[in-house]
Structure 1
Amino acid sequence: MAVAETTDKTFEKDTSEGVTLTDFWATWCGPCRMQSPVVEQLSDEMGNVTFNKMDVDQNPETAQKFGIMSIPTLLVKKDGQVVDTIVGYHSKEQLAKVLDQYTD
C-alpha cells in the first residue's frame, strides 16, 4: 500500500479512522529523506495501518496545530485521536514496535 499525500484540507478526514501514521517532512530535510523509505516499507508490510505524508512547507496549518517544531515528526492517531508523536529518524523495527501497540 502506498503512502498517500495529505494536506491541511484533507488531514482530519485522512486520519479519522483506525490507526494512522502521518510523516511530517520537507524536501530540504536530510533526515526526512532517510525516514521516507522506512515509512514506505512499513506501508507495504502493515496493512492494518494507514500511512500518510505531509510536506510542512506546503501545509503549515496542520503542523502548527499539532505543535510540530522538528522534522521528521511522525504523528500516530487511533480513531482520530493522537496517541503518539515520534520525533527524528527511527528504524523500521522501532516504528513497527510503536504501531503494534495501537493495532489489535
Structure 2
Amino acid sequence: MLTSALRPARPLAKAGSSIRPVIASRSFHASRIARDHFLDANEEAFNKRALDEANTKPVLVDFYAEWCQPCRVLTPLLKSHTGPETEYDLMTVNVDDYPELAAKFKVSALPTVVAFKNGAVKNKFVGFRGDADIKKFLGML
C-alpha cells in the first residue's frame, strides 16, 4: 500500500462495513521530572512548595534573571542534582517577575540559591558554584 509522507496508512473499510479505522489518540501526562522541577514558579507555587512545613524533601530555590549569564550556566547544573531520583527538588524564580519575593529573602546578587526544608530556610549561597561546590552545599542540608 502506498502512503503519503504527510498521512499515515489506514486500513480501508469496505462500503457498508461496520469496521472503521482506529485512530489512536495521544494522551499527555506530567512526568515525575516535571513535578520535581518547578521552573519559572509564581508566588503561589513558591508558597505551596517551598514554604510548606510538611515538606521534608529539601527544595532548592534558584533566584535568577533572564539577562544573568551565570544564572544560565548554574540552572542546568542544579537540574542535574535534583529531581525524582534525588533527595532534592528544584524551583526557579525570576526576580524580574517577582521582585518582592526576592526582597523577602534578601536576594541582592544573582544567582542566589536558597534551600528550604519544612518551610524554613536551611542554607543559602550567592554567585556561581561549580559541580563540586553544589555537591558540598547539598551535603550540608
**Structure 1 segment 36-75 matched on structure 2, within 5 A:** 36-44=75-83, 47-75=86-114
**Counterparts of 1:82 and 1:21 in 2: how far apart (Å)?**
10
**Counterparts of 2:85 and 2:113 in 1: how far apart (Å)?**
16
SS of residue paired to 2:92: strand
CA contact (8 A) 2:83 2:89 kept: no
- Mind listing any 5+ residue stretches in structure 1 that lack a counterpart? none
Residue deviations 1:8-47 (CA, integer Å, cap 9, x gap): 2221211121211010000000111111111111125862
Name the residue aligned to 1:22: 61
Name the residue aligned to 1:31: 70
CA drift of 1:91 comes to 1.3
**Bigger fraction of residues in helix:** 1
Q: CA RMSD in A?
A: 1.6
SS of residue paired to 1:36: helix
1:4 and 2:38 are equivalent in the alignment: yes
Between the aligned residues of both structures, percent identity stands at 28
Residue deviations 1:33-64 (CA, integer Å, cap 9, x gap): 11111111112586211111011111112101
**Bigger fraction of residues in strand:** 1
**Counterparts of 2:119 and 2:132 in 1: how far apart (Å)?**
24
Structure 1 stretches of 4+ with a deviation exceeding 6 A read none
SS of residue paired to 2:134: helix
Name the residue aligned to 2:138: 99
| TM-score, reference length from structure 2 | 0.66
